[in-house]
Structure 1
Amino acid sequence: MKVNAEARQRLSALLRARENDVLQRWAEIAARSLRGRLTEAELVRQVREVYVALMGMLEGAGDGELAGAGSSESRAALGELSRSWARQGFTPTETANLVFTIKEVMLDLSESGETDQVPADFLVLSLLVDEMGLYTFDTYTKARESIIADQTEQLLELSTPVVKLWDGVVAVPLVGTLDSARAQVVMEKLLQTLVDTGSAYAIVDITGVPAVDTQVAQHILKTVVAARLMGAECIISGIRPQIAQTVVALGIEFGDIATKASLADALVHALRASGVEFSKRNRSL
């Protein structure tokens, strides 16, 4: 929205003349909803950044348009503020209110007779601030979505560890639901571990998987096939009676893939297949 030069000049002159009062009242009003989550000095600094962004729209070459080329510094300042508050855990309402508060400040000054601001100028200021607030809200939302996506990826990494049980034997203990996204992470981590360790055997343990349906079985089978393509033999462990009955009822075929009831049984199978011999030690009383 383009704003005529006269209105921008009047607003700019007013804000410059009452800068200290405006910033002080702005910080005081904004502090009400923050409940002490920012220090006074930090809040004043944040308010000043928004003030500078607003002045940039009024005095810059962008004709009061936030989307214009002349308002790039204002957009950058508001964007950084939004991303910072998103990382600190502030709500989108708190973030946008930091911008919208200037309208309450100017209204208070006008009602108290401390300014001779005309209604038309207040309307112009309100429209400019609304545009800034919406931009702040939009940037905040995108930042939060990015943070949530990063956290989800980190949780997937933590929930799908690949551990080395023995020389040449690695295991993937699965816990919880196995969906497409997690299955992809499992496959990538397993294949990378096989490359890094040169292991010939991989155990996929599903003891912690609450239920196995056709989709889960397909994810497991794809992981096994991918590992086989890397030259590793796979063993599926954790086949509880309930899971065995479900697999049979669904008609799921594991083919020639070795399956064991427990991780210990799978490890013994892998060690024997790799040539490790076991012997029982006689303990004398």
Structure 2
Amino acid sequence: MGASEAVVRQRVAKALRDSGDAVSDRWVELQLAQGELRGSVGERELREEADALVAALAAGLATGLPVTQVVNSHQELRQAVVDLSLRRARGGATPTATSLAVLVLKEAVLETVQTTTDDAGELFGAALLINRLLDAAGALSFDTYVEGREEIIRRQSRQLLELSTPVVRLWRHVLAVPLIGTLDTARTQVVMENLLQAIQDHEAQVAIIDITGVPTVDTAVAQHLMQTVNAVRLMGADCVISGIRPPIAQTIAQLGIDLSKILTRASLADALSEAIKLTADPAVESRALR
């Protein structure tokens, strides 16, 4: 790094340290003027973000790291950008607004540097340095935002899957999972995890998987069901599949799917009767049949 760049770097770092509050105020003002946030982030949060990021920028520039590596290699600065992006993602701001919020900091920093020097060469060098530094911060904020939103979407999707596949305790030692809609790999995994955990928690002996609400059963769905049945058996419980309607029975037969090793019943009531027998508890059976 040449001496002139070192001087410029020191001047920008000093401006951030000495006039950090002014930079933060100006940055908040510029973000609010853009109107991109649309209420997703309050003014107080903007100020907290600004103070943290401006302080981290000053600390990062004070290191010996190359300008192009400061954002990604300086822990405090990287964390400040990441935290800002994740908060914006959770708040519902767009990725464009998040990146622009970081990039508009260029103007606030350069305005402050201009008050400390009249040297045209230093100002030009400062503008180049600030561009390189905050372009990297903008790219990091965009990537972090996208990753954060993807994680939120994955978590929400899993929550919806769990809500759509409840495990119901029908009787002592008897559980049921009423399935409605398409049964794919992701949903099967959630069904299996929730059902196995419920078997352990309730010391269940029988698990009923009711597919009355499943519109069609093809080879993939049958495979998913068999995997779940095998997992239930490994837990030491019996499994009954109910809701085998005539069209589904015909489809299974035509496809040549072998469900002979799985106990099936036409209705949930039939499956419950079978479950009571499988539990081999005379007292339970007598109460259920009254």
State whether TM-score is above 0.5: yes
Counterpart residue number, 1:146: 151
SS in 2 for 1:171: strand
Give the Cα separation in 1 of the matches to 2:233 and 2:275: 14
1:66 aligns with 2:70: yes
Aligned counterpart, 1:121 = 126
**Which residue of 147, 157, 178 maps to 2:183?**
178
Deviations along 1:209-252, one digit per CA (max 9) or x if unpaired, are: 12111010011112222323333332211112221221122111
**Secondary structure, counterpart of 2:145 in structure 1:** helix
User: Residue 136 of structure 2 aligns with which residue?
Assistant: 131
Alignment check: 8 A CA contact 2:15 2:112 kept: no
* Aligned counterparts of 2:25 and 2:150: Cα–Cα separation in 1: 33
Give the 3-state SS of the residue equivalent to 2:125 in structure 1: helix
Write the distance in 1 (CA, Å) between the matches of 2:36 and 2:288: 71
Relative distance call for 1:277 and 1:223 in structure 2 (3 A) is: same
Partner of 2:104: 101
The CA distance in 1 between the partners of 2:59 and 2:213, in whole Å, is 57
Structure 1 stretch displaced more, 55-64 or 259-268: 55-64
Distance 1:226 1:169 in 2: 16
Q: 1:101 to 1:232 in 2, by over 3 A?
A: same
| Inter-CA distance 62–95: structure 2 relative to 1 (3 Å threshold) | same
* 1:196 aligns to 2:197 (yes or no): no
Q: Distance in 1 between matches of 2:265 and 2:242?
A: 5
Residues 1:57 and 1:110: Cα distance change in structure 2 (over 3 Å): closer
Question: CA 1:181–1:35 in 2, change beyond 3 Å: closer, same or farther?
Answer: closer
Structure 1: stretches of 5+ with no match in the other structure: none
Give the 3-state SS of the residue equivalent to 1:120 in structure 2.
helix
Alpha carbons of structure 1 residues 39 and 233: separation in structure 2 relative to 1, 3 Å: closer
Q: Residues 183 and 68 of structure 1: is their aligned pair in 2 closer, same or farther, counting only changes over 3 Å? A: closer
Aligned twin of 1:53: 56
Name the CA shift for 1:249/1:56 in 2 (closer, same or farther; >3 Å): same
Aligned residues: 279
Higher helix share: 2
* Shift in CA distance, 231/102, structure 1 to aligned 2, threshold 3 Å: closer
SS of alignment partner, residue 227 of structure 2:
helix
Q: Is contact 1:109-1:115 (8 Å) kept?
A: no
Matched letter for residue 90 of structure 2? R
Contact residue 50 and residue 99 of structure 1 kept, 8 A: no
What residue is the counterpart of 1:82 in the other structure? Answer: 85
Cα displacement (A) at 1:92: 2.0
| Corresponding residue of 2:192 | 187
Paired residue for 2:213?
208
Instruction: Give the match for residue 229 of structure 1.
Output: 234
Distance 1:252-1:142 versus aligned 2 partners, 3 A rule: same
Aligned residue for 1:247?
A: 252
Report if aligned partners of 2:56, 2:80 keep a CA contact under 8 Å in 1: yes
1: CA distance between counterparts of 2:15 and 2:203? 72
In the aligned structure 2, how far is the partner of 1:136 from the partner of 1:37?
Answer: 16
Check 1:216–1:43 CA distance in 2 against 1; reply closer, same or farther (3 A cut).
same
Task: Please tell me whether the aligned partners of residues 204 and 237 of structure 2 are also in contact (alpha carbons under 8 angstroms).
Answer: yes
Q: Which amino acid aligns with 1:41?
A: R
Deviations 1:88-133 (A, max 9, x none): 222222222221012234567899x996352232122111110111
Gaps of 5+ in 2: none
The TM-score, its normalising length taken from structure 1, stands at: 0.83
TM-score (norm 2): 0.82
Deviation track 1:128-156 (CA, whole Å, cap 9, x = no partner) reads: 11011112222223333333333333333
Please give the secondary structure, in 1, of the residue aligned with 2:70: coil
RMSD (CA atoms): 3.1
Mapping 1:150-169, distance limit 5 Å: 150-169=155-174
Alignment of 1:8-47 (within 5 A): 8-15=9-16, 19-31=20-32, 32-47=35-50
Give 1:23 deviation, angstroms.
2.9
Letter in 2 for 1:222: Q
Counterpart residue identity of residue 52, structure 1: A
